[in-house]
Amino acid sequence: MTQTFDINIDCGESFGNWVMGADEALMPHVTTANLACGFHAGDPMIMVETVRLARQHGVAVGAHPGLPDLRGFGRRVMSLSPEEVYADTLYQAGALRAVLQAHDMELHHVKPHGALYSMLSVSEPLSEAFARAVIEVCPQPMIYYPAPAEKHAVTRIAADMGIDVVPELYFDLSYDDDGGLILKRANEGADLADTKQRLARFLERGEVLSVNGKAVAMTARSICLHGDGPNAVDLARTIGDGLTAAKYKLSPLVPAPALTGQATQ
């Protein structure tokens, strides 16, 4: 049976007349979209337009909820209670689910954005609240989260609650020696030749190299691209071509009860 792999993008992050990312150019090259829900970026019109664009290209759509911080693009940590995280997640993902249902689509998954991701990585009470919201809003509960999956509080808690956790790889970011992502305030893009080598290494050996040259074992079922990168479209093509050459079929993921290796079968 042909192996499948998923390519997802963070998108729908424009606001009013302000444009962020190359969503229209990227959609033909990806299988899944994480769509901003109006708190850190996006607005109702952008949500509708992006859902229509995804539907046109057969792209599955998940919610990308963030903190209520448009000025800071959801990247500044806030002091929130578990009840607030639950309500904010339900509110944002629920709004997107309504837009999707109006276009005969289902909510595919939920993926936290920015500082919310950082908060959920370490806080068990916030993670449990987030997971409860995902279960209640997502028809087949699934969350996307940076690999390694076992590294974060929210992924452990979500898995224990029966949520399918999808570990992601990144090629427009670097890794530290523990497999953690090295975040940047500005997306500088990715070296395409280096990306080909990193992708081949992952597919052949199940590992990535840290910034210090250390080999770090990694399991992932999806690759995430930031749509605001200066060469995001070329990066998407490079990754898609590499996966296709390695005999993978590009397709949205189907929720699974457990990880089965580097890719779903």
What are the start-end ranges of the H helices in 10-108?
23-26, 44-56, 82-102
The answer to whether residue 186 scores a pLDDT higher than 90 is no
- What mean pLDDT comes out for the span 98-120? 97
CA atoms within a 13 Å half-sphere pointing along the CA-CB vector of 224: 24
DSSP H/E element including 74: none
Give the per-residue pLDDT at 20.
Answer: 92
Tokens of 59: 């792209």
The answer to whether residue 211 scores a pLDDT higher than 80 is yes
Identify the burial level of 235 via C-beta atoms within 10 angstroms of its C-beta, where 0-12 means exposed, 13-18 middle and 19 or more buried.
buried
- Residue (of 240, 193, 254) closest to 28 by Cα position: 240
Q: How far apart are CA 41 and CA 78, in angstroms?
A: 16
Give the per-residue pLDDT at 249.
Answer: 94
The number of angstroms, rounded, from the C-alpha of 212 to the middle of its chain's C-alpha atoms is: 25
Tokens of 209: 């190299």
What are the start-end ranges of the H helices in 30-160?
44-56, 82-102, 114-122, 124-137, 153-160
Q: How far apart are CA 138 and CA 149, in angstroms?
A: 20
- What mean pLDDT comes out for the span 28-34? 97
Q: Is the separation of the CB atoms in 264 and 254 below 8 Å? A: yes
Predicted TM-score (pTM) of this structure: 0.91
- What mean pLDDT comes out for the span 207-230? 91
| Average of per-residue pLDDT values in the chain | 92
Domains assigned to the chain: 3-250 (3.20.20.370)
Give the per-residue pLDDT at 265.
Answer: 30
Angle (CA) 199-201-206 rounded to 5° is 100
- Of 43-57, 171-185, 200-214, the poorest mean pLDDT is in 171-185
Give the per-residue pLDDT at 187.
Answer: 67
- What mean pLDDT comes out for the span 231-252? 95
- What mean pLDDT comes out for the span 9-31? 95
pLDDT grade, residue 167 (50/70/90)? very high
pLDDT over 90 for what percent of the chain?
83
List strand residue ranges (DSSP E) for the chain, in order.
3-11, 32-36, 60-64, 107-110, 142-146, 164-170, 174-175, 181-182, 207-209, 215-217, 222-226, 248-250
Condensed to tens digits (0 to 9), the pLDDT of residues 73-96 reads 999 999 999 999 999 999 999 999
- What mean pLDDT comes out for the span 200-212? 94
